[in-house]
Chain A
Amino acid sequence: AQSVAQPEDQVNVAEGNPLTVKCTYSVSGNPYLFWYVQYPNRGLQFLLKYITGDNLVKGSYGFEAEFNKSQTSFHLKKPSALVSDSALYFCAVRDMNNNAGNMLTFGGGTRLMVKP
């Protein structure tokens, strides 16, 4: 079975400060990891993914994420937060060794609030 944990329901950060949204995962094999963002009344938008290779992955809108296999984590980061980054963020995992097609398991989501 695969699972994802996002330990913080909400993260508050001041505009211009760095932000981190935490994610840990559990899979039996090797993971494919994804971050998505959801704005009010909208579907999910893809930010970035880790498949293999460099542990630091760069994505859309200045976001990046660091894959740490020993800590089974995939934290989302941004050096300087914008008010417009305020949204709901989801981490998702797929076990590459599990014949589960494109099925993703999502974390519970973290609401990011960036204050001016």
Chain B
Amino acid sequence: KAGVTQTPRYLIKTRGQQVTLSCSPISGHRSVSWYQQTPGQGLQFLFEYFSETQRNKGNFPGRFSGRQFSNSRSEMNVSTLELGDSALYLCASSLAGAGGYNEQFFGPGTRLTVL
């Protein structure tokens, strides 16, 4: 079974631009979560989508948004990029359910650099 895939793997943008990252979950997984990883803040939860609906949102500004499609694929968008948005963005998928006891499977991440 194929793992979680993320595209692109690397991205360089300049301040003020916007960016869209894509995530394809493991087949059959309906929950997709996004995390931001930085050396200073560590791993922080951005949001989770389940059945095309945002189920949870972390403490990030409104410049960060996402969506999920009917095939469970997900995208996240960051508008008006800032230098501090430079990070590794990780997508994770898990089986359905709100119980939270299913482990999440992570993709390799998208390394975003903002210049």
Contact = CB atoms under 8 A, between A and B. Distances in A.
Contacts of B104: 46, 102, 104
Interface residue range, chain A:
20 to 34
Interface residues on B, range: 20 to 34
B106 A101 contact: no
A101 B50 CA distance: 9
B15 interface: no
A103 B103 contact: no
B101 A43 contact: no
Classify the secondary structure of A's interface with B: loop
Contact of A103 (B42, B58, B107): B58
A49 interface: yes
A96 B98 CA distance: 10
A43 B43 contact: no
A34 interface: yes
Contacts of A101: 31, 48, 50, 55-56, 98, 100
Nearest to B95: A102
Contact of A51 (B35, B50, B101, B106): B101
A108 B31 CA distance: 24
B87 interface: no
Nearest to A6: B42
A32 B101 contact: yes
Interface string A87-103: 00010001010011111
Interface of B: 4, 31, 33, 35, 42-45, 48, 50, 55-56, 58, 90, 92, 94, 98-109
